[in-house]
Amino acid sequence: MTWVKNHFFCFFCINSEVMVLTPLYKVVYLLLVKNVIRLNVDWCIAIHYVHDDKEFVVLNVYTPYESRENEDEYLHRLAFINSFIQDSTCSNIYVTGDMNADLLDSKSLFSKHMIQFSDDNNLILSSKECLPTNSYTYISEAWHTTSWLDHCISTADGHASLGSMEI
């Protein structure tokens, strides 16, 4: 998928079945998957997958870019995600995608919100736990900088089910 530049792709592989999710611009597209859960919003879609009697739910999200003007919308989307997780009967849940929260930037307000969201709801920021601290998912050619904007947040059971993670 090299034809899309500077966009994060999330690949989940369970045995020989591959699910590919990607946020593209402001709309989330699903490329290949079964059991789509439509959430009636244009920034989040989910899939339900069962393997060996174990259920998995993967949400793919897009959140607005970091600015004070977008803070209320950002917090609203985190609340929506939390509500979905709380209402779900599945214990293996992954929230993946463009969270627009830069873990490399100590001044990032959205990063602080995302970490607080994870802590408050007993979720694990799996991308932070499983990837090197110098990871990045975005390269700014204009500024010659990198940012870590795309993440995977998991429930405890979901995190325990992860074998490995790579960018």
DSSP-derived letter for residue 153 is E
Q: In this structure, is residue 1 part of a structural domain?
A: no
pLDDT digits (tens, 9 = 90+) for 126-165: 999 988 989 888 888 898 888 888 899 999 999 988 887 8
Q: In this structure, is residue 18 part of a structural domain?
A: yes
Q: What's the predicted TM-score (pTM) here?
A: 0.80
Q: In this structure, is residue 4 part of a structural domain?
A: no
CA Rg, the chain, in Å? 15
The whole domain housing 135 covers 10-161
Phi, psi values for residue 50, rounded to 5°: -120, 130
Could you tell me the CA-to-CA distances from 95 to 57, 98, 140 in Å, in that order?
Answer: 9, 10, 24
Q: In this structure, is residue 155 part of a structural domain?
A: yes
Q: In this structure, is residue 27 part of a structural domain?
A: yes
Q: In this structure, is residue 166 part of a structural domain?
A: no
- Look at the chain and report how many structural domains it folds into: 1
Q: What is the CATH number of the domain that holds 39?
A: 3.60.10.10
Dist CA 131 CA 117 (whole Å): 20
